[in-house]
A and B are shown apart, each in its own frame.
Chain A
Amino acid sequence: MSTAAASAAPAAFLSALSARLGAHRVLTEREDILPYGFDGTAALKQLPAAVAFPATTDDVAFCLRLAREHRRPVVTRGSGTGLSGGSLPLAGSLVLCLAKMDRILEVDAANLTLRAEAGAITQKIYEAADAAGLFYPPDPGSMKISTIGGNVAENSGGLRGLKYGVTRDYVMGLEVVLADGSVCWLGSKCVKDVAGYNLRDLFVGSEGTLGVVTQVLLKLLPKPAARQTLLATFTAMDAAAAAVSAIIAAKIIPCTLEFLDQKTLRCVEDFAKVGLPRDAAAILLIETDGHPAAVADEAEAIEKLCAAQGASSVKRAATPAEAVQLATARRSAFSALARLRPTTILEDVTVPRSELAGMIRAVEAIAQKHQLNIATFGHFGDGNLHPTILTDERDHAEMHRVEAAFADIVEETLKRGGTITGEHGVGLAKKPFLKRQLGDQSYELLRLVKRALDPEGLLNPGKIFD
């Protein structure tokens, strides 16, 4: 579709949309749609033709049928915090924003499930479960604003991934609207359910390219009885990586095992003022949870292991409030890095945990080679690193070096049996590298699935692959 033809949406399309949703739920004015021209990813922007706010699943089905009739690409959007350009509009596209479908529909304490509309905010889901004495573990850094639909579409991780897994591990059922407007329920409240293909999981991590998620049925856990947060300080990055390996080798699975290098921890401290040691080369934020006795044992063992790997100090959070403060501070890491340079481009590579120390060193070498400022933090327990290049998108020469550095980081990752993305998705940002990781035949299989479910290629086209 040529951009000129595409960007001006035909009046018939827009008036049919407004007639169904109400004029106030369809935005086309520049001032209204400009703020939907980007997501959380740096240096990407593109205006859509219109932004629509469906109120019901039927509205979503209507929008998809109408878009199909008019051959309009549809980009589904939650809160636009994605970090791979997933909800970046295409020229001429309709952005389907689910932010107003944000109700929590049911907390079922008998079956330990929660059902919510896809636009519900992750934090609200956590709070609704918490209020019922239950626990929804996945806690991406963006949880105060990300939508559960976005979490499902990216299969987001969080700080508790090591012990509790990622979003996928909590999705029991999904309501999905397909490209032709048909509405399907995939999954159920049953703990065991092998009726037919597991299509529910196909939609987890599908980045809005296979259908629109409108409802999510989530698994909840009982709330852990006790928690203890620890902060370990290191004078060398290697030592921190070695401590992580030692903890895991000792068969301890903490709930959280987060890493921040010096640049990151200083930015975080500047913002959050929680007393992080500014002179440390690296810190580990560790949390253990569960039965009080087990928590006490694990905390002690972790302290010893960190000390043995040369931690200069290991402190315990004195109160639950202090623990929450530390976790909240950690969640601000990516955004806080923008204090140093205007553009922050972060990677999401993940390696088998035994490769962590080597990968950290490789990133340092790459930063030197390309003369770039790279800060690293990440979900160390998951082997998930976020090397973040601090740069300025207006400096074209530097941006070339940034690209070259990314290619090198990907190279290193794949060499170590890693993956190009642990949790942020392929979107636009990782698209060029996907084929290399998957190999020709797996890559073709993905496209086959896409063609089967979206034969006209109208759902978030150009994301993941072309």
Chain B
Amino acid sequence: MHCGMCLPTCPTYDETKLERHSPRGRIALMRAIGDGELEVTKSFGEEMYYCLGCLACTTACPAGVDYPKLFETARAEVERQGVLDSPKRDFIRWFAVRFLFTRPRLLRLVGRALYLWQASGLQAMARRSGLTNLLPPDLRRLEPQAPVIQRRFSHQLIRPVERPADAPAVSTAPLRRVAVLTGCVQDLAFADVNRATVDVLLANGCEVHTPPVQPCCGSLHAHNGDLGSARELARRQLDLINPDDFDAIISNAGGCGSHLKTYGHLLHDDPVYAARAAAWDKKLKDIHEYLVSIHFRRPLGTPSPSSAPSTDLAPARTITYHESCHLCHGQKISAQPRAILRAIPGLELRECAESSWCCGSAGIYTITQPETAERLQHRKVGHVLATGAEIVATANPGCHLQLENGLRAACAPTVSEPASPASPPIVTHPVVLLARAYAAEAAASPRRSIHGT
């Protein structure tokens, strides 16, 4: 089937109107290789990395073509044949894919160093003094895009096992046991999202298990042609968390969740792990998907600005939602995050044009294809700002960073408009808002009792 129904949904085809930059074109090239009509060339390799891997084509495809599988296999073949090899690329790949993102403790150490650099004022000093201008051009461009590392990581915010303390409303129901995956970037830059994930699960009567040191899920590896490392990381994950022990295993990052749900396929011919991996897939749930499936409790009341724990979100009322590609296209989870946002008192959800169009973050796409990534970022930011919403919710750390950077740049003072720049919308994760709504409820309850029940 090559009907072309995927073309209008493909961001790279939309950019260029060239067939090779479309899913149909890419599959034709893969097929030509399969049929012996084309070698695995450098140009083919470049094409496979020009693809965002956003999977919008899979949502559009009536024929159900398994693009993710074809795409991962093609990238792995590109790496196997080494058609893109260069010393610089080889080093970066080895450092990131093989070295850093396979060692969770080391990653946290690097995160800690980055935090100190940012928090101590050294970073600001380096920027002011023009020291960052000494960096090579690639790094100079990336430096301001690096995530702001949080002071505390997930294991410092979350105990290995937490039980709902005082949840009388749900105490009669049997406790659900769930495991929470803390991710890599999420752990360093958005540990608060992990904390909020645990909070909302507790508020819905779950006993939450969060192993303090967790391996990377391997999505970075699988999407970048290193299926060997991806398998190894999947096995470590399965060693750490036995799916049979839990009602559900929860991921809160769209990109990770999409990959985590394919361990069964990844390890299907592994003599030891195949069965466990298949069981894992069934238990793996995105947080929004899970909350909706257990009929999460709607938070009560309208939080007043003073009762909100953090002032930055308190006065905001309007919100828009940006769909992480791997949540909506990879996992087909689109309605649930919206259902959660609509359940939060005091928020008005305004739909944003092209909410499921890739923001350009796409794993490490901002590093590998900066120009396209930036154009997609502009397009996204334009649609977000057009809604006039004060908050943007999104459920993937890559999107979160891409939006934050893009919005900051778009709202920064410029030469033509130096005065009163609009403050950019706040970017956050739906569960952070839900957790705050539950917290506000608790804060408001004494007052409720004064007014009499």
Contact = CB atoms under 8 A, between A and B. Distances in A.
Interface of A: 27, 29-32, 34-40, 42, 53, 79-81, 99-100, 102, 121, 123, 142, 144-145, 267-268, 270-272, 332-339, 342, 344
B1 A35 contact: no
A142 B3 contact: yes
A335 B61 contact: yes
Nearest to B32: A34
B75 interface: no
Contacts of B65: 338
Given A31-B29, A35-B28, 6 more contacts: A34-B20, A34-B25, A38-B2, A79-B4, A272-B62, A335-B63
B92 interface: no
Given A34-B28, A35-B25, A37-B28, A335 B3 contact: yes
Majority SS of interface residues in chain B? loop
Contact of B4 (A145, A267, A342): A145
B371 interface: no
B437 to A, nearest CB: 28
Given A31-B47, A37-B28, A335 B62 contact: yes
A153 B155 CA distance: 64
A424 to B, nearest CB: 13
23 contacts: A31-B41, A34-B28, A34-B32, A35-B19, A40-B3, A40-B4, A42-B1, A79-B7, A80-B19, A81-B3, A99-B17, A144-B5, A144-B8, A145-B7, A271-B62, A271-B64, A272-B62, A335-B1, A335-B3, A335-B62, A338-B62, A338-B63, A344-B1
B43 interface: yes
B28 A336 contact: no
Contact of B38 (A27, A30, A142): A30
Given A35-B29, A336-B63, A142 B20 contact: no
B38 A34 contact: yes
B8 A40 contact: no
Contacts of A344: 1
Most buried by B among A40, A123, A270, A333: A40
A102 B13 CA distance: 14
B195 interface: no
A142 B8 CA distance: 11
A81 B8 CA distance: 12
Interface in B378-397: none
A32 B20 contact: yes
B22 interface: yes
Interface string B84-110: 000000000000000000000000000
Nearest to A329: B62
Given A79-B7, A145-B7, A270-B64, A31 B38 contact: yes
Contacts of A268: 62
Contacts of B62: 267-268, 271-272, 332-333, 335-336, 338-339
Nearest to A334: B3
Most buried by A among B8, B41, B44, B47: B8
Nearest to B60: A144
Contacts of A272: 62
A35 B24 contact: yes
